[in-house]
A and B are shown apart, each in its own frame.
Chain A
């Protein structure tokens, strides 16, 4: 069996380029179904030009991150919120 996704731990490095804290331990809520989990638990599809994170409950897209040598695009429209421990 070949698996096509890994989990949100894979996001830790790419998102450390953008955020000052480790986002994979933050809780997020899915806009589509309301499921709440840590970003480490989402499904990440990485065999693409960028990273696509999907809800482990309803599989809707939560987050996309694409980078070129000079620019980064971060799409968070699938997340109602992210909740962090305060720094």
Chain B
């Protein structure tokens, strides 16, 4: 068994926004310059802290969207109706603004590039974000590990990273489950990601793929149950639930 890494003290670092771009109708990506950042493993997250002039501060966790690069990281934040941190990041933050981040954090929901097993990624809504970090890392490293992504989203307008996923290399196969509105050329009518689509677009359990499931809690519970019912071993399924609404 691998020995545990003794981690350095977790320190807050200043992150400065250097670019921002909208991702479909539902999210925004912030590109951050973080001096002293020495990369991360795909799937890890950061804690982000905003502090007001009066000293009041609010802290939330966000998955890292980018492949590891020294000094730089990207966060994709979902537009939400209320909250203390996300509305600022989505609606207000502009290049030149800064706040604090600490990380990278979390060693469980992580893809290690040294594992040659095929990879099955299952995303619900903005659960795509840490999975995109895995896809981008695979691409950046020239990895030939075959990936399949099943992405559940309400409609084409709510899909994050759609253009980048459409241009992916043949080693990444992408299937969408549109839950409300499917585009005219969709092979399936609108509906939830079900066992039939999982069997068709996922990997057979005999290949023992590494499975990563991320999304709202109810979605993740349903997908983990489907995987187990189709014969996938529980210890091959890693999950990250971010609460929220389905």
Contact = CB atoms under 8 A, between A and B. Distances in A.
B209 interface: no
B24 interface: no
B10 A17 contact: yes
Given A1-B245, A3-B244, A6-B217, A16 B108 contact: no
B4 interface: yes
Contact of B6 (A9, A17, A87): A87
B241 A7 contact: yes
B61 to A, nearest CB: 6
A36 B61 CA distance: 26
A15 to B, nearest CB: 10
Contacts, number: 86
Interface stretch (B80-88, B90-98, B99-107, B176-184): B99-107
Interface residues of A, number: 26
Nearest to A10: B61
A65 interface: no
Contact of A1 (B3, B45, B246): B246
Given A17-B10, A20-B6, A22-B7, A9 B109 contact: yes
B4 A3 contact: no
Interface in B1-29: 1-7, 10
A17 to B, nearest CB: 6
A16 B245 contact: no
Contact of A9 (B4, B106, B245): B106
B4 A12 contact: no
Contacts of A1: 218, 245-246
Contacts of B240: 7, 9
Given A3-B216, A41-B239, A86 B108 contact: no
Give 3 nearest A-B pairs by CB, closest first: A40-B108, A3-B217, A22-B107
21 contacts: A3-B216, A5-B241, A6-B217, A7-B220, A9-B45, A9-B106, A12-B106, A12-B107, A13-B10, A13-B61, A13-B102, A13-B105, A16-B105, A20-B6, A21-B4, A22-B4, A22-B5, A40-B106, A85-B1, A85-B3, A87-B6
Interface of A: 1-10, 12-13, 16-17, 20-22, 24-25, 38, 40-41, 84-87
